[in-house]
């Protein structure tokens, strides 16, 4: 392999170290630090003193300042080889912990979905006889019985569809008395090894029955599709 090609491939491999959505957040952190240094007439060097001032500044205005700090290190570490050493400085670590405590928000959690909720949702979907309602009930059934997070099977937005994370139709299978598919990615699987999901029958919102009926509806409306979850208009369901 010529060295020029190897050099290009090196950059290609490095660019896949983090997700695109993560990289966009990291860019914001790097821009914020540069603007901070310029507005306060400080050098861009990532010294312990500059980091202390930046942490104190973000703690006053930005609740997610520590996320910016991570992005700062990702993009500027190459220009400051001592970044990790400076970040580990006792004063910097004290400022980080103090900032997290100051910006700490009380934990708010929604009540968990119960079988009674799932049962009511299924009844409403059956009464409406609407394709998208049936799709939503199917998604909820699968999230409930497989303990999925919605983000594992639903894309965040239409403009940022990552096909590596989309569950494919060809992975669906119906062994006797079961239904299954291949989940290509989740938070604990950063290298896309994937996980095989298998469902059994249940009395309420039976995921096996739901999947079978949904596949029939989807095939009648859209024909063969690459993605598993498709809305009535042919688009992917999103969380936005």
- Provide the 8-state DSSP code for 89: S
pTM over 0.85: no
Architecture of domain 3-102: Orthogonal Bundle (1.10)
Q: Give every CB contact of residue 97 below 8 A, 6+ residues apart in sequence.
A: none
Tokens of 152: 């594992």
**What does residue 225 show for φ and ψ, rounded to 5 degrees?**
-130, 150
Confirm if 5 and 26 have CB atoms less than 8 A apart.
no
Q: Write down the domain spans for the chain.
A: 3-102, 115-222
- For residues 214 and 114, is the Cβ–Cβ distance under 8 A? no
Question: Mean pLDDT, 10 residues at a time, over the chain (240 residues)?
Answer: 77 67 71 87 88 86 68 75 87 86 72 88 87 90 87 78 84 89 83 88 90 88 84 85
Give the three-class secondary structure for 197.
Answer: strand
Q: How far is CA 209 from the centre of its chain?
A: 28
């Amino acid at each position: 392999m010529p060295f020029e090609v190897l050099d290009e491939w090196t950059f290609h491999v490095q660019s896949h170290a983090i997700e695109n959505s993560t990289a966009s957040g990291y860019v914001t952190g790097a821009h914020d630090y540069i603007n901070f240094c310029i507005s306060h007439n400080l050098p861009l060097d990532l010294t312990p003193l500059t980091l202390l001032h930046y942490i104190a500044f973000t703690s006053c205005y930005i609740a997610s300042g520590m996320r910016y700090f991570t992005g700062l290190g990702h993009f500027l570490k190459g220009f400051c080889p001592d970044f990790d050493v400076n970040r580990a400085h006792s004063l910097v670590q004290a400022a980080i912990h103090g900032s997290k405590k100051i910006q700490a928000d009380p934990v708010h959690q929604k009540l968990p979905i119960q079988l009674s909720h799932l049962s009511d949702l299924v009844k409403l979907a059956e009464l409406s006889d609407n394709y998208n309602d049936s799709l939503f009930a199917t998604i909820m059934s699968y999230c409930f019985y497989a303990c999925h997070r919605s983000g594992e099977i639903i894309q965040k937005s239409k403009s940022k569809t990552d096909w590596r994370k989309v569950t494919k139709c060809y992975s669906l299978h119906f062994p006797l008395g079961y239904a299954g598919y291949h989940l290509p990615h989740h938070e604990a699987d950063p290298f896309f090894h994937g996980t095989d999901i298998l469902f059994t029958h249940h009395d309420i919102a039976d995921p096996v029955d739901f999947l079978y009926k949904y596949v029939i509806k989807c095939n009648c409306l859209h024909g063969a599709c690459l993605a598993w979850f498709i809305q009535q208009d042919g688009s992917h369901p999103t969380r936005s």
